[in-house]
Amino acid sequence: MTEQYYALYVEGKENPIGTLRDSTLAAVDEIAQATGKKYRTEPITPEQAKAITESITRCSPDLERLLSKR
């Protein structure tokens, strides 16, 4: 059985701050308690989860250019 993926948003913001799966969904409550912020989740596909993760972990364009020259 494949786990459902979720995009994680800070309440009121448009861009996701990360992704979760069914097995890590309970962490949202702990994150909210620790930060004092409210969060929301939206179900997404594995492909969308991969795109979100890649966009968050991507280097700056200048750093990517520097690394590509090595």
- The domain locations on the chain are 5-68
Report pLDDT digits (tens) over 7-63. 999 999 999 999 999 999 998 999 899 999 999 999 999 999 999 998 887 666 777
The residue type at 7: A
Strand ranges (E), 1-70: 5-10, 18-21, 39-44
Secondary structure (3-state) at 5: strand
The two tokens of residue 29 are 């409550």
The reported pTM is: 0.74
